[in-house]
Amino acid sequence: MKKIQIILVTIFLSLLTTAIASMAYANPTLSVFDCGLLAFDDVSDFGITNNDTEVRELFVPCYLISHDDHLMVWDAGLPLSDVGRTDSNTRYRKSFIDQLAEMNIDTSEIDFVAFSHMHYDHVGSANAFSEATLLIQGTEAVAAFEHPEDNPVFRPELYADLLSSNRTTLNGDYDVFGDGSVRIISAPGHTPGHQALYLELENFGPLILSGDLYHFEVSRALRRTPVFNTDAEETLRSMDKVEALIRSTGATFWIEHSKELAESLNLAPAVYD
Ligand SMILES: [Zn+2]
């Protein structure tokens, strides 16, 4: 073989090796964003008493997941109209969209968007992701799009633009990328189509994002359901299901609204991988 042919073959083989190696490491990465804070004088609506915990605040997160060339948003924080609020009930410093922009990510680049459920504190910037494919349980779509008036925690104007989005309607658990590394876990009860998210991170290990299966750390310890859940018994079954998944996988479990947890996390632009 001529010298030039040997060089070309060598380059080709090294490119092929790099491509195969990157395919083998398709593990997702995760960033957590501060998308607000809610404060309460009284936490009894969450099924706990004011003596059960001293915590009176709920952190409101947004999440960005990267998997190969794809980007996925999980939960979208408080309404954008709350950005700039710093009162005793609500704080939201910088919009999710501006925080993404600081990471050089435009909302049009998001391929998939999913919400643990459609309550207003999880879909605050949902309309910005109308170009993404919406992953939603069929039961949640019916509740949020067809009968939002039945649940005062739904604010349909916050996700109205998603009505015309590409949509994958789910009926149970769903493996988003087909390799088991990002899995939506059906966990109904808080709302009809409430869901959690299982992630397999290469270095961090398996991680489950709770959605609103629990709001406070003490809610999990005491196994309590908020009074505004659509189905308390169904919620308890979902708790059993997710707790079993935690045990069988050894996953770390993050209660999304936990203020104590949020204070221990590395927020975006930090990345968990
Ligand atoms: Zn919530």
Q: What is the pLDDT of residues 118-141, one digit of tens each?
A: 999 999 999 999 999 999 999 999
Ligand 1 center–CA 12 separation, angstroms: 51
pLDDT tens per residue across span 143-179: 999 999 988 899 999 999 999 999 999 999 999 999 9
Bridge-partner residues for 86, per DSSP? 91
pLDDT tens-digit series, residues 43-53: 999 999 999 99
Question: How far does residue 75's CA lie from ligand 1's centre (Å)?
Answer: 9
**Ligand 1 centroid to residue 11 C-alpha, Å:** 52
Residue 2 clears pLDDT 80, i.e. is over it? no
Compute, in angstroms, the gap from residue 100 CA to the centroid of ligand 1.
21
| 65 Cα to the center of ligand 1, angstroms | 19
Ligand 1 centroid to residue 64 C-alpha, Å = 17
Flag whether pLDDT at 24 surpasses 50: no
Residue 4 pLDDT exceeds 90: no
What's the gap in Å between 120 CA and the centre of ligand 1?
Answer: 8
Question: Where residue 22 falls among pLDDT bands split at 50, 70, 90?
Answer: very low
Distance 192 CA to ligand 1 centre (A): 14
At the topology level, CATH places domain 26-264 in Metallo-beta-lactamase; Chain A (3.60.15)
Tens digits of per-residue pLDDT, 226-242?
999 999 999 999 999 99
Q: Which residues pair with residue 191 across a beta bridge? A: none
For 190, the token pair is 């808080």
- What's the pTM? 0.90
Q: What's the gap in Å between 77 CA and the centre of ligand 1?
A: 9
